[in-house]
Chain A
Amino acid sequence: LAKTTQPISMDSYEGQEVNITCSHNNIATNDYITWYQQFPSQGPRFIIQGYKTKVTNEVASLFIPADRKSSTLSLPRVSLSDTAVYYCLVGKSNDYKLSFGAGTTVTVRA
């Protein structure tokens, strides 16, 4: 099971880009990388998932280098409502459900 390491917290200001890097040195060949967002007293919400290179959707971008030992979630032009905990998950099959970790608390200030 790939272990992930991400910063405990990050601060930003409205309109800035926030980049959260997750380290997963022992990622396996079949592992995918998935990011979730969680607001207080709510369940986590899927943001984005990728296997390699770059993935982009209407919410975020996910950058994965060739060695796949890390990944970076990029949130463009954040607003106050993006204040949340962000989780990086790595795994295959059902395994990734086991590894939510503590996440990164992102605080966006006005």
Chain B
Amino acid sequence: KAGVTQTPRYLIKTRGQQVTLSCSPISGHRSVSWYQQTPGQGLQFLFEYFSETQRNKGNFPGRFSGRQFSNSRSEMNVSTLELGDSALYLCASSLTGENTGELFFGEGSRLTVL
């Protein structure tokens, strides 16, 4: 079956703009989580959604937001972009979100902020 799909794969924005990234989980998976990966900070958890509800949130400012739709697809939005937001944004899905479940990651959306 198809894996986790993230769009767009690459994008360039300028400071002050906003961006929306999309994630389509594996069919049947109800949990979607988002991560930011930068060379200096490693892989950092942004938030996790399950059945359209945000269950967990990482330590990021309110400019980072997300949502999940009834078909489990998820979007994340970053407003008022800063240079430091340049990163690889990864989405992962799992069947239920429980710790015994494997996380399946997409290939990521690489955001460059100029």
Contact segment of A9-17, A38-46, A62-70, A75-83? A38-46
- From A44, A92, A94, B56 is in contact (CB under 8 Å) with A94
Q: How many A-B residue pairs have CB under 8 A?
A: 69
Evaluate whether A100 and B42 lie within 8 angstroms (CB atoms) in the complex, with A41-B88, A43-B108 already known.
yes
Number of interface residues of A (CB under 8 A): 26
Minimum CB–CB distance from B64 to chain A (whole Å) comes to 15
B51 interface hit (Cβ, 8 Å)? no
The interface residues of chain B, by DSSP majority, are classed as strand
Number of interface residues of B (CB under 8 A): 28
Evaluate whether A102 and B42 lie within 8 angstroms (CB atoms) in the complex, with A43-B108, A44-B105, A97-B33 already known.
yes
Minimum CB–CB distance from B42 to chain A (whole Å) comes to 4
Tell me if B99 and A100 are in contact (CB < 8 A).
no
Tell me if B99 and A95 are in contact (CB < 8 A).
yes
- From B4, B45, B48, B99, A92 is in contact (CB under 8 Å) with B99
Could you tell me which residues of chain B, from 10 to 33, have a CB within 8 Å of some CB in chain A? Answer: 31, 33
Minimum CB–CB distance from A59 to chain B (whole Å) comes to 13
Tell me if A43 and B90 are in contact (CB < 8 A).
yes
Please list the residues of chain B having a beta carbon within 8 angstroms of any beta carbon in chain A.
4, 31, 33, 35, 42-45, 48, 55-56, 58, 88, 90-92, 97-100, 102-108, 110
Please list the residues of chain A having a beta carbon within 8 angstroms of any beta carbon in chain B.
31-32, 34, 36, 38, 41-46, 49, 87, 91-103
